[in-house]
Amino acid sequence: MKVLGADALIVVDVQCDFCPGGALPVKGGDEIVGVINDLLPKFDHWFYTRDWHPEGHCSFAEDPEFRDGSWPVHCVRNTPGAAFHPDLHVPEGAVVINKPSERDTETYNGYQGTDLAERLRRSGVARVFVCGLATDYCVRSTALASMDEGFQTVLLEDACRAVDVPEGTGAQAVDEMRRAGVRVCRSEELA
């Protein structure tokens, strides 16, 4: 698949707290960093989302269920855990989207409450390639929202990892995205 000038790479939540050693590690989360870095030269437009929670966020639990709505404290604004993985390259000119989060609301996709769609349109983007963490939560939500916003959407499956709790949710998320019209491919298929 040829990457065109009207394509953008959306890198979802590749943050320290979602990588090994973080507060909410995704198994193999750090393994995608090199894959993503290798993708960067293929694109002219890069958008990075990140969880940006306030202290005391409603999803934080002392005894978390590790499912939608119940998580350990993670990605608190301006903390080391909220920083991008130290080996992740963020090119000059890349746009960073902080997913807004009020204490009493959760935001999984990069569009909700942000100007991501507007910025993509202003840049002339027609197709987005989505990668990052985690396949079954924020990547899924961002890819589906990209479709809802009218962008052709491609999931770079090898540049994602899933929480996968309960087991199988990562594969289910990929199937759901496919059924919604998201094209699924691997990074080596891009030219």
Complete DSSP assignment for 129-150: EEEEE-IIIIIHHHHHHHHHTT
Give the sign of the dihedral formed by CA 138, CA 16, CA 127, CA 109.
Answer: positive
pTM: 0.95
Digit-coded pLDDT (tens) for 21-74: 999 999 999 999 999 999 999 999 999 999 998 888 888 887 776 666 678 889
Side-by-side strand order, sheet with 183-185: 95-99, 45-51, 7-12, 127-133, 152-161, 183-185
Active site residues: 13, 99, 138
Q: For position 132, what pLDDT does the model report?
A: 99
Q: Which two tokens stand for residue 129?
A: 């390639």
Phi then psi dihedrals of residue 5, to 5 deg: -65, -20
User: Do the Cβ atoms of 66 and 51 come closer than 8 Å?
Assistant: no
Contacting residues for 54 by C-beta, under 8 A, at least 6 apart? 76, 77, 101, 102, 103
Task: Find the farthest-apart pair of alpha carbons in the chain and give their distance in angstroms, rounded.
Answer: 46
List 129's β-bridge partners, or say none: 9, 154
Stated as kind and residue range, the H or E segment containing 128 is: strand 127-133
Q: What mean pLDDT is reported for the chain?
A: 94
| Domains of the chain, first to last | 7-189 (3.40.50.850)
